[in-house]
């Protein structure tokens, strides 16, 4: 039996698909993170900074026309340490 490479199953250079498991965060409706991503951010930034960043991102996704293309997608990429989101939370 031969094994076929596939992007869907992650074999031979293909990227495995992420499971669409949304972590339920209190008072957050639009921001999507997996449980592993949430734990990583919690360890990296701490509870207070992470909660403020989640609120800022939630408000931006709700109100900004630029946020339309990020709704319904995983938002882990917004939490870069050199990105606008974390910098705006730390400055305030």
Model pLDDT, residue 1: 47
Query: What is the value of pTM for the model shown?
Result: 0.76
- SS3 letters across the chain: CCCCCECCCCECCCCCCCCCCCCCCCCCCCCCCCHHHHHHHHHHHCHHHHHHHHHHHHHHHHHCHHHHHHCCCCCHHHHCCCCHHHHHHHHC
Nearest alpha carbon to residue 77 among 29, 24, 26, 18? 18
Is the model more confident about 31 or about 6? 31
| 5 has pLDDT over 80 | no
**14 band by pLDDT with thresholds 50, 70 and 90:** low
- Mean pLDDT (the chain) is 84
| 15 has pLDDT over 90 | no
Interatomic CA distance for residues 17 and 5, integer angstroms:
14
The pLDDT tens digits for 42-71 are 999 999 999 999 999 999 999 999 998 999
Per-domain residue ranges of the chain = 35-91
């Amino acid at each position: 039996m031969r094994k076929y490479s596939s992007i869907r199953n992650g074999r031979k250079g293909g990227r495995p698909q992420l499971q669409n498991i949304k972590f339920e965060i209190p008072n957050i409706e639009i921001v999507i993170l997996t449980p592993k991503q949430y734990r990583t951010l919690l360890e990296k930034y701490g509870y207070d900074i992470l909660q403020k960043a989640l609120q800022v991102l939630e408000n931006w996704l709700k109100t900004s026309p630029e946020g339309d293309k990020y709704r319904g997608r995983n938002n882990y990429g917004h939490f870069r340490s050199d990105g606008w989101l974390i910098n705006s939370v730390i400055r305030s």
